[in-house]
């Protein structure tokens, strides 16, 4: 067994122990006392908190806050990582679907029994709001890799039930309420736009265009919304409306106390008006006032159309 393999196995072997001695290591790995001493020194150098007690074979104590194998994380960090794992599992699509599954298997295989039991209990006592979206995004992992490697892709994209082909470089990936979006640089139009990842039907690398530096594209996205004409809106809501806002809103929206109620303010592009109307309709009778008047009239018209539809059922 090579030293690197032996050290990794030692980390697993010692994970459930409070103490050990050199004889245990010598017998388990068929090594000399001098090799065992060097291995202990290597364990200390990579961060395992060990202190020694004098004796024939040298007894060593492991601190209660010892680092957990195999990634040399503390117990608290393992809990934090497991919580992140539970959060990822609540997504229908992630860039790490396979990795999430294998990570959970490794947790069960290599962690100390006591810690496994506590993590299993954590899974039962912590309930996370499900944000699964019915739409599956198939290419999230490829998009993340493409962003990091500054790769240019040809994609086939479905918009308004019609297929479009674009040559793009992905810039950023974001998620809102379980739906994934990507900022792209369109190689043909030389413009930044946002697309829904679940609408991407095909994706293939291409060398038809020279990729741009990611840092340059990220700088351009910082001023992306400043270059697009935006429409402002605000709605006054009651306490229930404040709760609705807290359960789901977008980065372009803010809320603040207003007299005895609350004022939600935001901005949107002209082509997003239908989307904004659908969002605001969920506030129902919690809405006390809407500005601008144009938006209020359009929402009223949408509400009447919905009521007419229900009456016809």
Comparing C-alpha atoms, which of 257, 280, 256, 258 is closest to residue 268?
A: 280
Per-position pLDDT tens, the chain of length 313:
788 788 878 887 887 778 888 899 999 999 999 999 899 888 887 767 787 765 555 688 876 544 455 455 667 777 887 787 777 776 767 787 656 666 666 666 667 777 778 887 887 887 766 655 567 888 998 999 999 999 999 999 988 788 999 999 999 998 876 788 999 999 999 999 889 999 999 999 999 999 999 999 999 888 776 666 789 999 999 999 999 998 878 778 999 999 999 999 999 888 788 889 999 999 999 999 999 999 999 999 999 999 999 998 8
Res 114: pLDDT: 78
Res 32: pLDDT: 92
Inter-residue contact 196 to 180 (CB < 8 Å): yes
Res 124: pLDDT: 80
In the chain, where the domains are located:
3-62, 75-125, 140-222, 230-311
Res 80: pLDDT: 81
Res 65: pLDDT: 46
Give the CATH number of domain 140-222; options: 3.30.70, 2.30.240, 2.40.30, 2.30.30: 2.30.30
Torsion of CA 304, 308, 310, 313, to 10 degrees: -170
Res 12: pLDDT: 78
What does the alpha-carbon distance between residue 175 and residue 63 come to, in Å, rounded to a whole number? 41
Res 117: pLDDT: 83
Residue in the structure block whose two tokens are 């599992």:
89
CATH topology of domain 230-311: Alpha-Beta Plaits (3.30.70)
Give the CATH number of domain 3-62; options: 3.90.226.10, 1.10.10.10, 2.60.40.1180, 2.40.10.120: 1.10.10.10
Res 53: pLDDT: 66
Res 134: pLDDT: 63
């Amino acid at each position: 067994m090579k030293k690197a393999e032996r050290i990794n196995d030692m980390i697993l072997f010692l994970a459930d122990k409070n103490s050990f001695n050199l004889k245990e290591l010598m017998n388990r790995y068929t090594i000399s006392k001098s090799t065992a001493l060097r291995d202990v020194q290597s364990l200390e150098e990579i961060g395992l908190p060990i202190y020694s007690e004098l004796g024939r074979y040298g007894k060593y104590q492991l601190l209660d806050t010892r680092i957990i194998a195999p990634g040399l994380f503390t117990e608290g960090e393992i809990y934090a990582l497991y919580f992140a794992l539970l959060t990822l599992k609540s997504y229908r699509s992630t860039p790490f679907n396979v990795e999430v599954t294998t990570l959970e298997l490794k947790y069960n295989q290599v962690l100390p029994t006591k810690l496994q039991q506590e993590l299993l209990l954590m899974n039962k006592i912590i309930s996370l709001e499900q944000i699964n979206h019915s739409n599956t995004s198939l290419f999230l992992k490829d998009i993340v890799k493409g962003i990091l490697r500054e790769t240019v892709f040809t994609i086939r994209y479905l918009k308004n039930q019609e297929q479009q082909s674009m040559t793009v470089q992905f810039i950023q990936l974001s998620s809102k309420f379980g739906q994934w979006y990507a900022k792209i640089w369109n190689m043909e139009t030389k413009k930044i736009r946002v697309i829904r990842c679940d609408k991407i039907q095909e994706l293939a690398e291409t060398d038809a265009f020279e990729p741009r530096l990611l840092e340059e594209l990220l700088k351009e996205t910082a001023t992306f919304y400043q270059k697009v004409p935006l429409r402002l809106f605000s709605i006054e809501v009651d306490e229930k409306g404040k709760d609705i806002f807290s359960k789901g809103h977008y980065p372009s929206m803010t809320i603040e106390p207003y007299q005895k109620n609350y004022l939600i303010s935001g901005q949107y592009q002209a082509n997003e008006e239908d989307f904004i109307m659908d969002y605001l309709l969920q506030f129902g009778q919690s809405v006390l006032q809407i500005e601008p008047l144009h938006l209020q009239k359009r929402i009223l018209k949408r509400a009447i159309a919905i009521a007419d539809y229900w009456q016809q059922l």
